[in-house]
Amino acid sequence: MKKKFSLKLLKKRFTRFIPGNGVTGMDQKELESYFHSLDRSFFVDNDMKKYADLDEPLPIGFGQTISQPSLVLEMTRLLAPEKDSKVLEIGTGSGFQTAILAKMSAEVYTVERIAELMEKAKKRLEALNFSNINYKVGDGSLGWKEYVPYDRIMVTAAASVLPDELVNQLATGGRMVIPIGPPNLQELKLITKTDNGDIHIRTVEMVRFVELKGQYGWTV
């Protein structure tokens, strides 16, 4: 039997990944409350809705997936967005992660290379009455230079190496969560930029994500 996700199980999964480095500004209870109020079935097509309460990734078309819920929550806690954070998200996908970021931060800039997925995600997020999300169809490996710097960067596709473009767009004192590695298995990395511009990289765990396509990602 496949495992459904519950708050108790999710807490057990990511207890060892609670952010350090002095990050205290994110309201953990608010995150958990909103996460469990958000209907994941709203973010998938009709034929996948019956699987929405399983803790596993699901296809959303075009070779892309909606990530497993426990990993979405874990990555959000690692990113630790605050109420005044400006967040860049690379890979809008279904919009599920986008909604959580928008709830927990001041403003979200989200980039998706597949126009059809972006159109669906935007409709869903507008239906949820978010007014702090900015949308762009394009190469996510390039980031979104017009609005730099970003306090937080969430990358929901696997890069072959850490893209310099994204590091350059991260604000001092900022945090980035990104999977890095070959197509079938990657290391989830927490990137932090100190106030003097030094970059610190910490490996969190092994994960599987679709490939980040683009100029500074895998070939489209």
Return the active site residues.
67
Cα separation, 49 vs 27, in Å, equals: 29
Q: Where are the beta strands (DSSP E) in the chain?
A: 58-61, 64-66, 86-90, 107-112, 133-137, 150-155, 170-180, 186-193, 199-207
User: Could you tell me which of 147, 5, 162 has the C-alpha nearest to residue 73?
Assistant: 5
Beta-carbon count within 10 A of 146 CB: 8
Token pair listed for 83? 């109420």
The residue to which tokens 């990050």 are assigned: 23
User: Could you tell me which of 86, 199, 194 has the C-alpha nearest to residue 143?
Assistant: 86
Contact between 144 and 170 under an 8 Å Cβ cutoff? The reply is no
Token pair listed for 205? 């765990």
